């Protein structure tokens, strides 16, 4: 077992036993090293891996371990890994679009109109109306809007999976905008569609929301796709 796996297993035990919980500060490098019988450098490396996996968040403040807090962000690790796999062309855009259709239609059908994520989604609708946005910034907000809708369904895992896709979605949509004949026309259409999807969820009409979001995802891909 490699050092980072030792540190992971140790944290898993601590969490299972209730000795540590989400929101707690992680013990410092020295404590981790002593408890596991490993060097401080190895403990530091193991903690960095936890950070990259979204399991802990390094705090600000003095000292390298100051305020490292146990978080719950299972999407972070996969997001970074997926971006690398996209870069190596091992993840076709078709697979992302198909996965989005599956996760997002399910989430739209099950979204809770009163979930806090619905308010985030509403704020993003407003932000996307700002006329000064360039394509890149628009698509960043657009991807965040889709993640917020997925989170509104309340399934932590599906929310995390959508969150892990966020950067990949930003990447492929930005690539595809090069193929669009008229960006202002497309962005106006996307904004109108976003509002209808959001409203359908607010009206507790999951079936309509699911149909609208499927058409929205497929429509962009077909307009800009190959």
Count of residues interacting with its own copies (CB under 8 A): 57
Residue 77 binding its own copies, by CB under 8 A: yes
Sequence-separated (6 or more) residues with CB below 8 Å from residue 26: 11, 20, 32, 47, 50, 56, 65, 68, 69, 70
Instruction: By CB under 8 A, name the one of 74, 147, 198, 201 that touches its own copies.
Output: 74
Q: Is 113 exposed, middle or buried (0-12, 13-18, 19+ CB in 10 A)?
A: middle
- For the stretch 140-144, contacts whose Cβ atoms lie closer than 8 Å and that sit 24 or more positions apart, written own/partner, are 140/170, 142/173, 142/190, 142/194, 143/167, 143/169, 143/170, 143/173, 144/120
Residue 82 binding its own copies, by CB under 8 A: yes
Where are the extended beta strands (E) located within 1-141? 56-57, 69-70
Between 44 and 166, whose beta carbon lies closer to its own copies? 44
Between 105 and 186, whose beta carbon lies closer to its own copies? 105
Q: CB under 8 A: which stretch of 32-40, 102-110, 185-193, 206-214 binds its own copies?
A: 102-110
Instruction: By CB under 8 A, name the one of 6, 25, 38, 51 that touches its own copies.
Output: 51
Residue 33 binding its own copies, by CB under 8 A: no
**Residue 126 Cβ, how far from its own copies at the closest point, in Å?**
30
User: Can you tell me the distance from the alpha carbon of 18 to that of 37, in angstroms, rounded to the nearest whole number?
Assistant: 22
Which positions lie near its own copies, rule CB under 8 A? 2-5, 8, 11-13, 15-16, 21-22, 41, 44-45, 48-55, 58, 70, 72, 74, 76-78, 80-85, 87-92, 95-96, 98-99, 102-103, 106, 155-158, 160-161, 164-165
């Amino acid at each position: 077992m490699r050092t980072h796996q030792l540190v992971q297993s140790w944290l898993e035990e601590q969490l299972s036993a209730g000795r540590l919980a989400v929101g707690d500060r992680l013990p410092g490098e020295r404590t981790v090293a002593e408890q596991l019988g490993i060097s401080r450098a190895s403990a530091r490396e193991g903690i960095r891996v936890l950070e990259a996996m979204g399991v802990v968040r390094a705090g600000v403040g003095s000292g390298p371990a100051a305020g490292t807090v146990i978080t719950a962000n299972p999407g972070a690790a996969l997001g970074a890994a997926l971006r690398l796999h996209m870069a190596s062309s091992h993840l076709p855009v078709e697979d992302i679009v198909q996965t989005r259709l599956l996760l997002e239609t399910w989430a739209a059908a099950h979204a809770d109109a009163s979930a806090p994520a619905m308010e985030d989604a509403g704020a993003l609708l407003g932000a996307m109306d700002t006329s000064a946005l360039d394509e890149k910034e628009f698509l960043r907000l657009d991807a965040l809007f889709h993640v917020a809708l997925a989170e509104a369904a309340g399934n932590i895992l599906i929310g995390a999976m959508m969150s892990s896709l966020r950067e990949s979605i930003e990447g492929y949509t930005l690539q595809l905008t090069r193929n669009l004949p008229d960006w202002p026309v497309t962005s106006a259409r996307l904004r109108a569609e976003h509002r209808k999807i959001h409203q359908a969820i607010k009206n507790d009409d999951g079936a309509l929301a699911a149909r609208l979001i499927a058409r929205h995802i497929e429509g962009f891909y077909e307009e800009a796709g190959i």
